[in-house]
């Protein structure tokens, strides 16, 4: 339930990002309604990081976005399915014309994992991610594709207590703003205590 509430919150934030900077505008572009005539959308997920108390990397898996009929009202809706070594579950439903459920899942996962690995407040982390995505970032060209890049914590007043997550970089590889995000990546440098870097990627198939 807590994860669903967080997902819903981030979805509302994404839907209200009309005043974001250029990079944020591209990431939070309105991609609805999600018709998906060729069937479900599938992102391959690959996540690495230190296995510590309270955190186990997801490893490799799949995140699927599909249309369903919401049993509560009989109307079309969206549903995410997570299939990883750590868990198998369904998340939703989400509105057909709402925000991007895959993006919401990616951001919430990053915030939750960072909180688990640093002991920081998930509320503070989510707010800083929101601020960075709405008002910061830059857009670069990489091999003919636009990439929106964000570094949420490099100037954070609490970065000395982030155990390496002050190096976190978010990268979103984008095509047509109406189409799903092709690649979402969150990466850090090596974490404190000689722990390996945190790396989480979702790549659209």
DSSP state letters, 122-159 = HHHHHHHHHHHHHH--EEEEETTEEEEEE-TTTT-TTG
Q: Return all residues near 143 (Cβ < 8 A) that are at least 6 apart.
A: none
> Quick check: 199 pLDDT over 80?
yes
Domain ranges, residue 167? 2-204
Number of domains in the chain: 1
In angstroms, the CA 56 to CA 47 distance is: 10
What pLDDT sits at residue 169? 98
In angstroms, the CA 132 to CA 114 distance is: 15
| pLDDT average, residue stretch 9-24 | 56
Read off the tokens for 18.
């009309």
> Quick check: 200 pLDDT over 60?
yes
With b for 16 or more beta-carbon neighbours within 10 A and e for fewer, the 43-60 pattern comes to bebbbbbbeeeebbbbee
Structure confidence at residue 177 as a pLDDT band (50, 70, 90):
confident
Q: Please, what is the average pLDDT of the chain?
A: 88
Flag the least confident range among 77-81, 97-101, 127-131, 148-152: 97-101
User: pLDDT, tens digit, for every residue of 105-119?
Assistant: 999 999 999 999 999
What pLDDT sits at residue 51? 87
What pLDDT sits at residue 12? 42
| pLDDT average, residue stretch 137-154 | 93
What pLDDT sits at residue 144? 85
pTM to 2 decimal places: 0.88
């Amino acid at each position: 339930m807590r994860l669903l509430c967080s997902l819903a919150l981030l979805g509302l934030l994404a839907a209200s990002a009309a005043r974001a900077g250029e990079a944020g505008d591209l990431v939070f572009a309105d991609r609805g309604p999600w018709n998906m005539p060729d069937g479900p959308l599938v992102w391959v997920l690959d996540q690495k990081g230190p296995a510590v108390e309270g955190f186990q990397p997801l490893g490799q898996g799949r995140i699927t976005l599909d249309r369903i009929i919401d049993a509560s009202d009989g109307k079309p809706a969206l549903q995410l399915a997570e299939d990883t070594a750590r868990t198998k579950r369904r998340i939703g439903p989400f509105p057909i014309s709402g925000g991007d459920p895959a993006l919401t899942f990616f951001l919430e996962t990053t915030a939750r994992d960072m909180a688990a690995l640093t002991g920081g407040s998930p509320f503070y982390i989510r707010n800083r991610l929101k601020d960075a995505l709405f008002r910061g970032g830059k857009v670069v060209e990489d091999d003919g594709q636009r990439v929106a890049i964000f570094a949420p914590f490099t100037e954070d007043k609490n970065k000395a207590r982030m155990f390496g997550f002050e190096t976190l970089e978010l990268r979103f590889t984008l095509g047509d703003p109406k189409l799903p995000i092709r690649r979402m990546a969150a990466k850090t440098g090596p974490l404190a205590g000689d722990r390996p870097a945190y790396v989480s990627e979702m790549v659209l198939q």
